[in-house]
Amino acid sequence: MNDQFDVTIIGGGTTGLYTAFYCGMRDMKTKIIEYKSDLGGKVSFFYPEKKIYDVGGFYGVRGEDLVEGVEKQALSVQPAIVTGEQIASIEKVEDGSFILTTAAGAQHFSKTVIVASGLGTFDMEGVDLPGSKTHASNIHYTIQHIKQYEGKKAAVISDSRVGVDWALALEGIASEVHLINHGSEFKAVYEHDIDKLEASSVHVHRETRAVELKGEGNTLSGLNLDTGDRLEVEELLVYQGLRIEKSLYEQWGLKTDKGRISVGHDLSTNIEGIFAAGDAAIYPHKTMLIASGFSEAMTAVNSAKRTIDPKAKSQVYSTVIYKHS
C-alpha cells in the first residue's frame, strides 16, 4: 500500500480504463481506484445492452462488449487495481507528490493523479419487499451479463425508459418478460420505444405494484402483485432511480464548474500534478462522448508524463511496438 505510483487514476469506467492502458504505453507505474466493486462505470450500469456509435471503428458496439474490450486492453499493461474504495481527500506533500486517503482511512501514494470519475458516485435505489433479502441473489440493478437471463422468466420493475430498454433487451433471451410500472406512463421514454414495447412479447403491467417475492429456499420462483396475480419469475431487475452523491472535487481543492473539474488544454487542473478526463472534466466546447474521454485520457497521460519527466516525448504512437504487445 505504501508503494508510490507514477499515476493514480480515480475512476474505473471506460475513460479510466483507457487512461490506464495509455499509461502503460508511456511506461508509467499505474494504479486505478474505483468506488464500485466492479469496473466499467456508467456504461456497465446504465446501458450495457445498448449499442454505442460514437467510438471510431465500431459501428454499433454493445456497451458491455466495449467495456470488456477496454478492460482487457487496460489489464494488458498490468495496472494495480483497487475496487470498493472512495477517495475522501487528496493531500499534496512537499516533494510535489500526493497522498490519497480513502473514506476508510487507507492511503495511496502517487506522483500524479488523473481524475476520471464522472460527476460523482451513485447507487441504485433498492427494492424493499417481503422476500427481497432471502432472494437477493436473484435481484439485479443492472442488466450486465445479459446471457444469465437466457431461457429464464424475468420481470422488470420500473417506471422509466431504462426499464423499457431492459425489457426490450431481454425479449428473445429470457423465455418470458414482464414489465411492472406502478404508474400509467413511463418517464422520459421515446415514442418509438413505446411502439416497440407494444409490438413486443413483453407483458406490460401498468398501475401495478409488486408486493412480495416467493420461492423455495434462496431460489426465486414467483412475484405477487397488488392485483392479486402471481407471476412466475426467476430473475428480477429493478430500476427505481439513483442515489447520487455529490462529487468531492471541491473538497479535494479542485476548481469546478457546475460539478465538473475545470481544466486547461492539457487537461491540467488548478493543482499542479492533478489532471482530469472524461465526464469529470469541463472546458469550452467539450463534447460529452465516450470517444472524447479516450482522447482526453491520452492528453492527460501525456501531461502527467511530462510533469514527472519534462524531457519525455510529448506523445507516443500506437503503431510503435511496445513491451506489452
Q: What domains can be seen in the chain, in order of their start residue?
A: 4-122+243-308 (3.50.50.60), 126-240 (3.50.50.60)
User: pLDDT > 70: what percent of the chain?
Assistant: 97
Q: Please say whether the dihedral angle defined by the alpha carbons of residues 243, 235, 62 and 301, taken in this order, is positive or negative.
A: positive
Q: What single letter denotes the amino acid at residue 123? A: D
| 3-state SS assignment for residue 103 | coil
- What was the pLDDT predicted at 320? 57
Q: What single letter denotes the amino acid at residue 315? A: Q
**Alpha helix positions (H), 39-98:** 41-46, 63-75
How far is residue 46 from each of residues 178, 212, 240, 241, measured CA to CA in Å?
Answer: 19, 26, 12, 11
Are 79 and 242 a contacting pair, CB within 8 Å? no
Output the pTM of the full model: 0.81
Are 193 and 164 a contacting pair, CB within 8 Å? yes
In 3D space, the residue among 153, 177, 150, 151 whose CA is nearest the CA of residue 166 turns out to be 177
- What was the pLDDT predicted at 321? 47
Distance between CA atoms of 120 and 260, rounded to whole angstroms? 9
**Given its phi and psi angles, is residue 298 left (phi above 0), alpha (psi -120 to 50 degrees) or beta?**
alpha
- What was the pLDDT predicted at 319? 59
pLDDT in tens, 228-253: 999 999 999 999 987 777 789 999 99
Are 6 and 114 a contacting pair, CB within 8 Å? no
- What was the pLDDT predicted at 323? 53
pLDDT in tens, 75-120: 999 999 999 999 999 999 999 999 999 999 999 999 999 999 988 7
Distance between CA atoms of 70 and 65, rounded to whole angstroms? 9
**Given its phi and psi angles, is residue 70 left (phi above 0), alpha (psi -120 to 50 degrees) or beta?**
alpha
- What was the pLDDT predicted at 16? 97
Q: Which residues of the chain are modeled with pLDDT < 70?
A: 1-2, 318-325
- β-bridge pairing 219-225 and 230-232: antiparallel
- What was the pLDDT predicted at 58? 87
The secondary element (H helix, E strand) that includes residue 32 is strand 30-34
- What was the pLDDT predicted at 78? 96
Are 248 and 88 a contacting pair, CB within 8 Å? yes
